[in-house]
Amino acid sequence: MERKWSKVLYVKTGLPDNYTDSDFLKELKRNLHFKPVLAQSAILTSTRISTRISITVIFWVVFLHLNEKNSCWKITYGAFTLFIAVAYRISRRFGNISTIVKNSVLFLAFGYACTPVLQSLTDTISTDSIYAMTCLLMLIHVAFHQYESDEHIASSPYLSLNAAFCGAICLASRLSNTKDAFILLTLATQAFALFPELYEALGYPLAAFGVSTLSAALAVLSISNGAAVLFLVLLLFINILFPLCFVWAQKYKDNIYGPWDEALITKT
């Protein structure tokens, strides 16, 4: 008498090892752990990307104006410094004021002392090569930035931070004024190191998105009207079209689970 087939290898049924009966696919499940993303949630989350792009664009524009000896753009540095200080105070991130003051003084002293070294750092490299390399580094910064704290995230946040600072150093080396180079490096510290941490601590507020987007648009407008239009079109794609395309494409998601999956040990 032939034994009935079962999903065990140690029972001899006289059937091939790859044999399955009609009940095998009854355990098939689709999109078991899938949680659909709503359009509103996708659009709100995309503002984190555009905020990072806006901060990077503002940094670029400040460099361009400093490079053209436009000292009025030092006001942007002061305003951003004041914003960071007030926001940190509001978020109550200051635990020990004396430690913060000491670290700030050390950074200002050593940073200003080491800034003159930048003027001879890239003498043998052409300006076009510096700009091209900086564009590539800023793209790496935006692409690999950690937009949400997640222990399962694959990319390291230090890659993004290091790429941004390398680009900032390259740009600062092209400034003839030591004071301007120091201002640019300090702005890089605030924009690429302090602001992301503060932005996360405050819960990614929409106010930061609005202020950064408006500031970046006005900054680009001061250089070129066409560049400002392209910047706004880019934000339109990032904040509206791409999230809606992502929500629309969810209907094609089809993850299957069944008896062929590896067994998992779960705690009860």
Under a CB-based contact definition with an 8 Å cutoff, are residues 247 and 42 in contact? yes
Domain hosting 104: range is: 58-148+155-251
Q: Does 50 map to a domain?
A: no
pLDDT, tens digit, for every residue of 33-70?
788 889 999 999 999 999 999 999 999 998 988 888 87
* CA angle, 227 then 56 then 43, to 5°: 85
Does a structural domain hold residue 3? no
**Does the residue 25 lie in any domain?**
no
> Is 34 inside a domain boundary?
no
> Domain for residue 259, yes or no?
no
Rounded CA-CA distance 151/120 in Å is 41
Residue 229 falls inside a structural domain: yes
Structure tokens at 162: 């290091």
Average pLDDT, the chain: 80
In three-state secondary structure terms, 256 is strand
Phi, psi of 4 (to 5 degrees): -75, 140
Per the DSSP assignment, residues forming a β-bridge with 256 are: 30
Which pLDDT belongs to residue 68? 85
User: What's the sign of the alpha-carbon dihedral 191, 76, 61, 134?
Assistant: negative
Per-residue pLDDT of 204-248, as tens digits, reads 889 889 989 998 998 899 888 999 999 999 999 999 999 999 999
- Is 41 a member of any domain? no
Can you tell me the distance from the alpha carbon of 263 to that of 14, in angstroms, rounded to the nearest whole number? 25
Q: Report strand pairing: 29-30 vs 256-257.
A: antiparallel
Neighbours of 33 (CB within 10 A): 7
- Asked if the structure places residue 75 within a domain, the reply is yes
* Domain tally, the chain: 1
> pTM, whole model, 2 decimals?
0.79
Cα distance from N-terminal residue to C-terminal residue, the chain: 40
Contact indicator for 188, 59 with CB cutoff of 8 Å: yes
Q: Which residues contact 216 (CB under 8 A, 6 or more apart)?
A: 53, 54, 55, 57, 58, 61, 231
pLDDT tens-place string over residues 144-158: 988 876 655 555 668
Q: Output 80 or 250, whichever has higher pLDDT.
A: 250
